[in-house]
Amino acid sequence: MAKPKPRIRVPKSVEAGVPFTVRTRITHPMHTGLQRDRDGNPVARRIVNRFRVRYNGAEALSVDLEPAVSADPYIEFEMAVPESGLLEFEWVDDDGSVYSLRREIAVG
């Protein structure tokens, strides 16, 4: 399997306290563990089981994902921030891998 590739969409600048939309998506097969391959062999479970967002080091969002979530999980949410800072995103894979992205946000 090709390495999962995360992407995010965040405004470059926002106003203090005004909600804005954050979109995230990661390419991932999200194998449920219940499927079989063409030869009838079980395909081992492998999903992104956790998604976390921090702002200036503080947790802003934490999501547990379950096997029913379809491939290439897409998560969109709104947030508001009081000051400029750093948004950090983490996707945790069943195999232990952690994929991360970060983005500066300017308030003003």
Partner 1 sequence: MNQGEGVMSQWKGNSGLSRRQVLATAVAASTALSAPAVLAQGRPRVVVVGGGAGGATAARYIARDSKGAVDVTLVEPTRAYYSCFFSNLYIGGFRDYASIGHSYGALAANHGINVVHDWAVSVDRDKRSVGLAGGGSLSYDRLVLSPGIDFKDGSVPGWDLSQQNRMPHAYKAGSQTQLLKAQVEAMAQGGVYCMVAPPNPFRCPPGPYERISMVAHVLKETNPTAKILIVDPKAKFSKQGLFEDGWQRLYPGMIERIGPDFGGDKVEVRPASMEVVIDGEVNKVDVCNVIPAQQAGRIAAAAGITNDAGWAPVVAHTMQSRADENIHVLGDASHQGDMPKSGFSANSQAKVCAMAVRGALTGSKVYPARFSNTCWSLIGTDDGVKVGASYEATDEKIAKTDGFISKTGESAEVRKATYEESLGWYAAISDDIFS
9 versus 102: smaller Cβ distance to partner 1: 9
Task: Judge whether 16 and 83 are in contact, CB under 8 Å.
Answer: yes
Query: Distance of alpha carbon 93 from its chain centroid, rounded?
Result: 11
Q: Name 107's bridge partners.
A: 14
Q: Are 58 and 23 in contact (CB under 8 A)?
A: no
- If one asks whether residue 106 binds partner 1 (CB under 8 A), the answer comes out as no
Using the minimum distance from each CB to partner 1, give the nearer residue, 1 or 18. Answer: 1
Binding range to partner 1, per CB under 8 A, among 1-9, 51-59, 81-89, 90-98: 1-9
Asked whether position 23 contacts partner 1 by CB under 8 A, the answer is yes
Given 16, 44, 71, 80, the residue binding partner 1 (CB under 8 A): 71
Query: Nearest to residue 50, comparing CAs of 73, 16, 76, 84?
Result: 73
Q: What distance in Å separates the CA atoms of residue 66 and residue 43, rounded to the nearest whole number?
A: 16
Choose between 59 and 100: whose C-beta lies nearer to partner 1: 100
Which residues bind to partner 1, rule: CB under 8 A?
1-2, 5, 7, 9, 23, 25, 27, 29, 71-72
